[in-house]
C-alpha cells in the first residue's frame, strides 16, 4: 500500500504543515508556493492537474468552488488522488490527527476521484 502525499492549498495556514511535519517527519506535505509545488496564485483546475500528475492529494478549505472544479476535472477524463476539505470546527490538533490517520492506515485508492470532508473517520 502506498501512502498519501498531501498538497495544502495556499489558503491553508503554514501551521498545519509545520504541525504535520513535527508529528511525522517523513510525511510528504507541501504547500502551494513551496519549491516543486505549483506557485501561489495557480488556479484550482491547474492545481488538480498538478495533483494528478504528481500523485498528491489536495487539502483545501475551498468548499465553494472545489466541488465544481472536481466535477469538471473528472468529466474531462482526468483523475485526482483525492481532495480533503478542512472542517472549521476541528482544531489544528484534530486535523493533524485525522490526516495522520489517513496517512498511516488508509489506502489512497479508496479516496481517489473523491471530495472528502474532514473528519472522514467519524
Q: Give the tens place of pLDDT for each residue, 61-120.
A: 999 999 999 999 999 999 999 999 999 999 999 999 999 999 999 999 999 999 999 999
| 102 within a domain of the structure (yes/no) | yes
Give the dihedral sign, CA 1/48/84/98: positive
The pLDDT tens digits of the residues spanning 39-49 come to 999 999 999 99
pLDDT(2) > 80: no
Q: How confident is the model at residue 59 (pLDDT cuts 50, 70, 90)?
A: very high
Residue 70 belongs to domain spanning = 5-117
**The pTM is what?**
0.96
**Residue 122 lies inside a defined structural domain of this protein:** no
Could you report the per-residue pLDDT of 9-19, keeping only the tens digit for each?
999 999 999 99
What CATH number does the domain containing 25 carry?
Answer: 3.40.50
The burial of 88, by beta-carbon neighbours within 10 Å (0-12 exposed, 13-18 middle, 19 or more buried), is given as exposed
**Tally of domains within the chain:** 1
Amino acid at each position: 500500500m502506498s501512502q498519501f502525499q498531501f498538497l495544502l492549498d495556499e489558503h491553508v495556514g503554514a501551521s498545519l504543515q509545520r504541525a504535520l511535519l513535527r508529528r511525522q517527519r517523513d510525511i510528504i506535505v507541501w504547500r502551494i508556493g513551496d519549491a516543486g509545488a505549483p506557485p501561489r496564485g495557480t488556479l484550482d483546475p491547474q492545481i488538480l492537474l498538478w495533483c494528478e500528475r504528481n500523485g498528491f492529494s489536495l487539502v483545501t478549505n475551498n468548499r465553494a468552488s472545489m466541488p465544481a472544479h472536481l466535477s469538471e476535472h473528472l468529466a474531462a477524463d482526468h483523475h485526482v488522488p483525492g481532495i480533503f476539505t478542512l472542517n472549521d470546527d476541528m482544531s489544528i490538533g484534530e486535523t493533524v490527527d485525522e490526516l495522520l490517520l489517513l496517512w498511516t492506515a488508509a489506502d489512497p485508492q479508496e479516496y481517489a476521484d473523491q471530495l472528502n470532508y474532514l473528519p472522514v473517520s467519524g
